[in-house]
Structures are given as structure tokens and as C-alpha cells.
Structure 1
């Protein structure tokens, strides 16, 4: 259920738990996100070239919205999915905005900026899943946004070292300064001094945001609700693992292991 793409590993990718009718459209949404993510991060293109390729995807979205046929096979498949399920175009544009932002922005002054990024990079996935399921309740959307934002924050904590290697830090700069955490400390993988209090603050906030959205996992019925409860439990598990190593995500990146799944599934089934 969890895949290896940097921004999307804490989201479902057409797992067997999802209702069968949702698996194919979810795969098509993922393929779009994967393509855009690779444009922003992979290879040796210049920033201008990356932005131009993302702009081409945006033009294809405009063609889809206008009822025209986009150019690439991936976008043609996405067009059929969007039309078949009456999906909104805006979340796809938001995703492209996030990937374009990754090309040009590498530091975040405060938590508000981080959350603004999450609204474009993560929340659209949850909103598209709700749209596929036909769920338009405003509270459900708000809870989905909380879950997605929390999962993105958790991903940031998992990938502090990997993001720094890409030249990015998604941790709020003002909070780093408040706790006395420096970029050179991240570069060294140094967990001494105030690193743990700083990370504990990040963990506790992400946990609260995840908990704010958690009731949605019980509200949604059937296999979609089970899938969502598993995703939430996965996020909680990663946070516990980061906490257990006092925030040292440099020596070993906290991930879900095969041993985690039976307990998570048992808890997800009991929580319905």
C-alpha cells in the first residue's frame, strides 16, 4: 500500500483493500503525480527545463478541462479517468503548483508556509479520493485535509536527510532558530543538543493534526474506511518510531516493516 515515491509513500496506491472500482482510477492519479514528481526531482534538467515540463502538464490539464485530447499517454489515460468519475481539475493543478514550488523554493520561514505547501502537495490526493467515492461533506473534506497534511509532515520528518541532500529543508526556519537547530547540524546528521526537543515538538504537532482527521476513518464505510484507518495507523506508527529513536532519522530512516502490518490491520478492523 505504501510506495517509494518521496511525496506519496504515505498514501494508498490502489491497494487490494480499496474497493475494486477505485483501484484503477487511483493508479491513474498516482501515475500523474509520479510523472510530475519525477520532473521536479529526477535527472539533471535545469530548473527552467523542469518548470517548462510542468507547464506542459498544466496545458494538458487545460485541454482536459476544455474537452480536448492531451498529448501524452499518461495524460490521455488521466483524461478518461477525470471524465468517467467527474473529478475536479483543481486538485491536479494544486499538485503541479507544489512540484513547481519544489523547483524554486527550498526553505520555509514558518509553519504557515509549510502547511500552505501541504495544502497543494498532499491535500489534493485525499480530496480526489473522496471525490472518487462520492463524498462531498465539508467536514469529511476538512478531516481528509488534516490526515493528508499530517502524513506529509510525517514524510518530511522521515526524509530530513534525503531532502537536505536535494537542497531542501521543509522544517520551519523560525522554529529551528528558536530551538537552536542549524542547517550545519542537519548536514552532519548531528542529534546532539536541542535536536530532540525540536523533533519532539514536530512529532507532537503532527500527531495532533493526524488525530484531528482520524474520525474520518470511522465515518467512511467498508473497505475505503478500512484503508484510511490503516493509513492513519501507519502514520502513527512512523511517529512512534521517530519518537523511540529520539528523533534520530539520520542513522536509520523510520519506515513500516512487514512486522507492523498484522498489528495495524487488527487495530484497523477493531476500530470500525
Structure 2
């Protein structure tokens, strides 16, 4: 298997919304974003598939070394072998990749965030930097597009956090800020227990408090999407269509979760591949979300 085949397989196997946006890119850019996305998946999977934190730390340390070695001209992993030939073309720097690894390391050390400012610092590493690199690969020409990409990355990450509350709780993690749990009188131990709502039409007291907390999170995410779109310069709107495709998919997912009254503690809400492709195609055809 060639490095190019490896990253293609890695990206396609993830089933991510990102993959559908890549399909509309010209071949060179599609190859570059696929290799970069495969890198993100590799390091993220170290944490998601973790059984032993010590082993996960060792693996992430290996990736730090592999990135440094790759930028010194000696990549050994197929992902880095696929990525390195394009880093100069799209101004991908070692600091970008190391920052993403640093964000994954935070997942090993921290399972709570006291406030939104702290959560934003984490999101900057695991999503903002990803957005910045992606915008360069898509064809950024305006400096202002970097601010758009960081804001959109934050919106994506908050959408992921909302969708994955239950899955994260099973791993002992809560990404909802402690100050906001307190604001809505939702206890961390309640989320970790993942209590099921009452049968029938009645709404139990915890479900009502939890829904209010999640509605607050969702409103902030929607506002961040709007702020991101407002930051995107008209000159880069066409080139940044893949990001807008992802935004359409993610916003639709967010509305579905909201419509179903946030069943995220026990259910992973997702869109079908056909629907994701349809949403991506609409942005490709219309040029906007």
C-alpha cells in the first residue's frame, strides 16, 4: 500500500463529514487535505482508542518525534510520507502539527474545564489550528480568512462536544465548562451517570436542567457559525467552499440534536452519508450555506 492509498483509506474509513467536502476539491488539494486529515485522525485515535494512558503518552511522544524527523527530511510513517511533499505548497509548518498533538496530550491530562476560556484554549489546538491549515490547503489568499477558519473550527468543535456528551462521559470526560454546569444546576456526577429520561410524555427534573444547559451550548455554537461566516472575505468565499460544506453538515446536525431535545447522553445523532453528500453538493452549487 502506498502512502497515498493509506491516507485515502484512513480518511474514508472515518465516515467524517470532512470527507464529503474533500470530494469536490481539485486533485492536488484533495490529496493534500486527505493526508493532513489522516494525520489528525492518527493522533486523535491515540486518545480515543486509549486503554492505558501511559501507552497513549508514549505514542503521542513518538508522533512528536516523527513530525520533527519528517520536517528534517526523514518521514517514516505513511501519513507523513504522504503529507511532507505538499507542506511547502500550502505553508503547513511543523508548529501546526505539533500544536494538534499538544491538544491531544491535553485529553490525557485534563478531563474538566473550569470555564469557557479554558475550553477555548483546548479548542484552539485541536480545531482552530486544523481550520487554519485546512484554509491554506483550500486556497486562502486573504489574511482575514485565518480568523474565519479559527472561528469556524471552534464552532465545529463545540458541535462535536454537544453531540458526544454521552460518549465522553463513558470515558470519564466532561467538556462542558464547570462554571456553566453550575449556572444550570447540572452536576458532573449526573452527567457521568447518564440517567435515562422518564418513559412517557413527562419530563423529569434532570432532563429539564440538562436540556437548558445544552440549549445554551447550542445557541453559542450557532452564534459562532454566524460570526465565522461574517469574517470570511468575499475574495476567498469560492476557495473556502469545502469549509462551508462542512458548516452546512454540522449546522444541520446541531439542529437535529436540538429538535430531538438533546438525547445525547444515550444516543449519537448522525446524518446519513447520502444526506451529507446532498448538503455538500448544495453548497457547491449555490456557493453559500
TM-score, L = length of structure 2? 0.82
Contact 2:166 2:194 in 1 (8 A): no
Task: Note if 1:35 corresponds to 2:42.
Answer: yes
Give the deviation of 1:99 after TM superposition.
0.7
Tell me the distance in 1 between the aligned counterparts of 2:54 and 2:33: 30
The residue number in structure 2 matching 1:177 is 182
The residue number in structure 1 matching 2:66 is 60
SS in 2 for 1:239: helix
Flag the 1:88–1:134 CA change in 2: closer, same or farther, 3 A. Answer: farther
User: Bigger relative contact order, structure 1 or 2, given CA contacts below 8 A and separation 6+?
Assistant: 2
Tell me the distance in 2 between the aligned counterparts of 1:167 and 1:3: 28
Flag the 1:263–1:12 CA change in 2: closer, same or farther, 3 A. Answer: closer
The residue correspondences of 1:218-257 to structure 2 (distance < 5 A) are 219-222=235-238, 224-257=239-272
Tell me the distance in 2 between the aligned counterparts of 1:169 and 1:19: 39
Give the deviation of 1:154 after TM superposition.
0.2
TM-score, L = length of structure 1? 0.87
Number of paired residues?
266
Pick one of 183, 186, 194 that aligns with 1:188. 194
Unaligned runs of 5+ in 1: none
1:152-191 per-position Cα deviation (integer Å, ceiling 9, x unaligned): 1000100001111112111101100110112232222455
Tell me the distance in 2 between the aligned counterparts of 1:268 and 1:217: 18
Contact 1:119 1:149 in 2 (8 A): yes
Unaligned runs of 5+ in 2: 1-10, 197-205
Pick one of 136, 143, 148 that aligns with 1:143. 148
Tell me the distance in 2 between the aligned counterparts of 1:101 and 1:229: 28
SS in 2 for 1:122: helix
